[in-house]
Amino acid sequence: MALIRSIRLRRALVVILLVLVGCSVHACVAAADADPASDVLLVQNAFLPYQPATPPVLAKALDQALTEIHATGLQLKVAIIGSPVDLGGIPELFGQVSRYAAFLETEISYRGPQPLLVVMPDGLSMQAAGPASALTGLTVDAHQQSGGLARTAVLAVERIAAARGHPIAAPALGASSGGGDTGLLISAVAAVLLVAGAAFVLRRRRSVGPGVPSLL
């Protein structure tokens, strides 16, 4: 009986130990993934959405704008949040750009307030980056997804620099990243091909003549 109790006790201790280890690992993983932007912004100037990827020309334009505004003395960081996935373990803050900006600023500030700009589809928010009036009238181009958000961020950085009295050169933003014009072009080409095909079939039938079976 004593041996059986000893075995059971050992098994119970092993189970408890495994549960504790599992909880610890889960807690560490959750903490690491709680807010991806707070980790990225410690080593980079901008956090970009995971999917869809930001067009390279717009990512480069944002990097250029941040480099130029840093040269004026404002070490601005930018977080672009395109979907709840970009928030890791706090997806409930998606659509609450002001609350998230306040939260993120506390996560990345160590030696005083950290100038920060957050762009979400629902709007923009600044922390320690200048007067809020700098962004008055600027709307988020959410229809273009990551490209539109990045384009908005570049324009916001330009406005922040101008509001501080140190305007920066406007980076090249390139053509619109959306597919609206492309979609219209494809539709137009399809319509032309359809009309041409119908005309070809009609001419073919006429050339065969009445009473002769057509192969088309």
Mean pLDDT (whole number) for 149-167: 96
CATH of 36-163, one of 3.40.50.2300, 1.10.3720.10, 3.10.310.50, 1.10.287.110: 3.10.310.50
- Which amino acid, 106? T
Residue 171's pLDDT is 84
Nearest C-alpha neighbor of 150 from the set 47, 39, 41: 47
Residue with the larger pLDDT of the pair 204 and 30? 204
Q: Is the pLDDT of residue 80 over 90?
A: yes
- Tens-digit pLDDT profile for residues 105-151: 999 998 899 999 999 999 999 999 999 899 999 999 988 899 999 99
- End-to-end, the C-alpha distance of the chain in Å comes to 91
Residue 19 confidence (pLDDT) above 50: no
Could you tell me which residue, 14 or 135, shows the higher pLDDT? 135
Q: Are 108 and 79 in contact (CB under 8 A)?
A: no
Compute the radius of gyration of the chain from its Cα atoms.
Answer: 29
Tell me what the mean pLDDT of segment 55-71 comes to. 97
Q: Enumerate residues 6+ apart whose C-beta is below 8 A from 151.
A: 58, 61, 141, 144, 173, 177
Q: Where are the domains of the chain?
A: 1-32, 36-163
d(CA 118, CA 124): 6
pLDDT digits (tens, 9 = 90+) for 205-215: 445 455 544 44
Task: Kindly state the greatest CA–CA separation across the chain.
Answer: 105
Percent of the chain beyond pLDDT 70?
65
